[in-house]
Amino acid sequence: MALLLHQSPASPLLQPLASLKTTQNNSSLAAVNKQQPSLPVPRFCSCCGRRHFLEAATAAFLPILPSNASSLPSDDYSDMLNRVHPPRPDWYEEFYASSMDSGMKSYEAEIAGYKSQIFRKLKGNAKRVLELGIGTGPNLEYYADNKEVQVFGVDPNKKMETYARAAAAAVGLPSKNFQFIEAVAEAVPLDDASVDAVVGTLVLCSVKDVNMALKEVKRVLKPGGLFLFIEHVAAKEGTFLKFLQSVLDPLQQKVADGCHLTRETGMYITDAGFSSLELNTASLSNASSSLISPHVYGVGQT
């Protein structure tokens, strides 16, 4: 039985990791996942936004240590990288990056309309953009097609850089305007209030600490900055899909680099304390995405 498995020049901005800062507002939204319609019985699929089956088969033998960001010295974000994403062999990292570059086309085609909807908010509003889990750079075409944008692409897999740089060049982003940073979302080596926007698609499903990742998002954003997100989430309670996700979730986490099929990511984002938040739900219909059909997408503002 096949399992759905998870994908997704030096700058003066790059500084030692600053202390985490966050403010909690009392805004909240209705539970977004409860708005999702009942879904038909899904088929198993062979790929997902962040990890593939072949990666998972190998990842099962590459344990990930628990996150402990709160105990890190402020200048040692690399320690968090090694805890969350222990070093892998180069051949493995390259194999995964290559697989991601060629294996996500059908998903990207289906999600393109939702991406266009949220990324248009960046036009003219963001010159410094941090993308978490940039991977092979499939989002760059939506926001980095001009010479004024400076992009900081964070990913724990250093082999993604070649593919991400190629994607940046393909949309006309000068090489000097793109910086690849080997790091994790829980510890971003950028200054406080240093970027206009943060982008994250299919990232929060697999981070070790969602709250810490969202605190980092808010820390690096300037006042009024934008957080653009697209994430797969748990299915509606009581549906067969939710039952199936619940059964497979423990195994999924072990073999798919921490991917959570039943994570209520929409609620984490809602509770993160953005001053304003637009959060929408969607259900993908492509058979290859059916196990992760329920999605949330939108824009938060600090």
The alpha carbon of 224 is separated from its chain's Cα centroid by a whole number of angstroms, namely 21
What's the pLDDT band for 78 if we cut at 50, 70, 90?
Answer: confident
**CA-closest candidate to residue 168, choices 131, 116, 124, 200:** 131
CA separation for the pair 56, 98 (Å, rounded): 15
User: Other C-beta atoms within 10 Å of 24: how many?
Assistant: 10
What's the mean pLDDT in 2-10?
39
4 or 223: which carries more pLDDT confidence?
223
199 or 73: which carries more pLDDT confidence?
199
Q: What is the pLDDT of residue 75?
A: 52
Look at residue 6 and tell me whether its pLDDT is greater than 60: no
- Under 8 Å between Cβ of 77 and 188: yes
CA separation for the pair 65, 45 (Å, rounded): 28
> What is the β-pairing status of strands 195-201 and 178-182?
unpaired
Look-up of token digits 């503002």: 301
Indicate the residue type of 70: S
CA separation for the pair 58, 262 (Å, rounded): 23
Task: Give the pLDDT confidence of 82-115 residue by residue, as tens digits.
Answer: 888 778 889 988 988 898 888 888 889 999 999 9
Q: Residue 295 is inside which H or E element, if any?
A: strand 294-301
CA separation for the pair 85, 63 (Å, rounded): 9
Task: Give the pLDDT confidence of 174-224 residue by residue, as tens digits.
Answer: 999 999 999 999 999 999 999 999 999 999 998 999 999 999 999 999 999
Q: What is the pLDDT of residue 87?
A: 81
3-state secondary structure of 131: strand
3-state secondary structure of 283: strand
3-state secondary structure of 44: coil
Secondary structure letter of residue 159 according to DSSP: T
Arithmetic mean of pLDDT over the chain: 79
What's the mean pLDDT in 161-172?
96
Helix segments in the chain, DSSP class H: 53-59, 77-84, 90-103, 105-119, 140-143, 160-170, 210-220, 240-255, 265-270
Percent of the chain as helix, strand, coil, to the nearest 5 = 35, 20, 45
Q: What is the pLDDT of residue 285?
A: 85
Which residues neighbour 109 within 8 Å (Cβ) at sequence distance 6 or greater? none
Task: Give the pLDDT confidence of 131-160 residue by residue, as tens digits.
Answer: 999 999 999 999 998 888 999 999 999 999
Look at residue 12 and tell me whether its pLDDT is greater than 60: no
| Lowest mean pLDDT segment, chosen from 53-57, 163-167, 206-210 | 53-57
Task: Give the pLDDT confidence of 239-267 residue by residue, as tens digits.
Answer: 999 999 999 888 877 766 678 899 999 99
120 or 88: which carries more pLDDT confidence?
120
The percent of residues above 70 in pLDDT, for the chain, comes to 73
